[in-house]
Amino acid sequence: MTIQVLRVPTVPNCPVDEAGEQSFGLLSLRRNSRLDFVENGEFDPAIAVYDDNYQNSQAHSPKFQDHMRSVLDLLKRQLPAGSKLVEVGCGKGDFLELAIADGHFLAYGYDATYEGSNSRIEKRYLDGTDRIEADLVVLRHVLEHIQRPHEFLELLGKVFGDALVYVEVPSFDWILANQTFFDITYEHVNYFSTTALARLFSGKVRAQGCLFEEQYQYAIASLGEVSPSFGEAYRNESWETMDFDALFPDLTSRIHAISTTLKASSRVFIWGAATKGCMFLMHYLNHGGSRSRVAFAVDINPAKAGKFLPGSLVPIHSPETFFSEVTNDDLLLISNPNYAAEIQQQLTQKGLSGLRVECL
């Protein structure tokens, strides 16, 4: 087996200026056989910096808004009206604003990268000195970013007591089944199988399932059920290093297939200037793809327009710019198939039904 260590952008969701400083880190996956849990064994939290440039909001998409509403409905079935919900790592506040407007929960949040002015959101991290009453703690796409996730859950147990916790993370099972190699990224130090997520709580979960066309998974459990045995297994020697190419045997052939679809006169655009788009372009260029054929990335988040994807330095533009420049001779790659329908609807409205479109 050939063990690979990849050099990748540390925070794909931080678009950069063309001449701006970029941060790279090493990525080497390893698996704990006792936990069925995978992590980046080369992860260094000091270089995965989340600041005001971090742009992970997906709330501009109707599809993602529907997803957030489905999560809120799920949580409302767990607890009565008037219960206190605290979202830790609430990002730009998209889900929390939805919960506040709905009114079922008394909703509050914490995030050091928050940019708004809602008084219910504190722009800071929690620490071991905090003591906060809550009925439900929400961790949406937080736990995959935090090294030794069991220790973070233990910290939350000190802060919130035995409150319920809702954990939502990407599904590593789905990533492997769909060969989405571009979902492996530096800022995600952890990769959870369904088994690993349940083992964080000794299997004592109130509810567990999949969301967002199975790309995401969730578990609802008590913070009082965080498993001591998870930490014991994490600290032992039950680790094996994983070969990236063996995990994703389709990588080279998929990139080659996309390259061969390009006509001599055509360009390629990629819709989605977040993790998937950033990491795909890195692999595309590393495997011989032509940078000169990549026009730019498209993103509906206006905060990204005019900047560049880390690593490849492919420019990012708005959908309006894309529609003014694209022709039916070009190729559009959609980085997340969950958004294909809403993108295709826009293409039809703009008279681009003949444009070649492929989902990654």
pLDDT at 54 exceeding the cut of 70 = no
Average pLDDT over residues 132-142: 98
> 90 pLDDT exceeds 50?
yes
Specify whether the CB–CB gap between 299 and 273 falls below 8 A.
Answer: yes
Asked if the model's pLDDT at residue 323 lies above 90, the reply is: yes
Least Cα distance to 305 among 11, 12, 55, 117 occurs for 55
Length of the chain: 360
pLDDT for residue 262: 77
Phi, psi angles (nearest 5°) of residue 164: -70, 150
What tens digit of pLDDT does each residue of 261-286 get? 876 668 999 999 999 999 999 999 99
Summarize the confidence of residues 288-306 as an average pLDDT.
92
Taking only the tens place, the pLDDT of each residue in 25-35 is 999 999 999 99
The residue-averaged pLDDT of 89-99 equals 95
pLDDT surpasses 90 at 340: yes
The DSSP letter of residue 129 is T
pLDDT of residue 56 exceeding 70, the answer is no
Query: What does the pLDDT read at residue 290?
Result: 85
Percentage of residues of the chain with pLDDT beyond 90: 83
pLDDT digits (tens, 9 = 90+) for 33-48: 999 999 999 999 999 8
Other CB atoms closer than 10 Å to residue 170's CB: what's the count? 22
Specify the pLDDT at position 9: 95
Domain residues of the chain, as ranges? 37-57+123-241, 258-359
Mean confidence (pLDDT) of the chain? 93
Distance CA 107, CA 86 (A): 6
| Architecture of the domain whose range is 37-57+123-241 | 3-Layer(aba) Sandwich (3.40)
Strand pairing report for 136-140 and 84-88 = parallel
pLDDT, average across residues 240-259: 91
At 177 the pLDDT is: 97
pLDDT given for residue 132 in this prediction: 98
Identical fold between 37-57+123-241 and 258-359 = yes
Residue 182 pLDDT greater than 90, yes or no: yes
**What kind and span of H or E run contains 262?**
none
Residue 36 in contact with residue 331, Cβ under 8 Å?
Answer: no
Cβ neighbours of residue 336 under 8 Å, at least 6 residues apart?
215, 272, 276, 359, 360
| Closest to 105 (Cα-Cα) out of 71, 129, 128, 64 | 71
Alpha-carbon distances of 202 from 32, 56, 207, 227, rounded to whole Å: 16, 31, 13, 5
Q: What is the CATH number of domain 258-359?
A: 3.40.50.720
Across 142-156, b (16+ Cβ under 10 Å) vs e yields bbbbbebbbebbbbb
CB 16 within 8 A of CB 278: no
- pLDDT value of position 1: 47
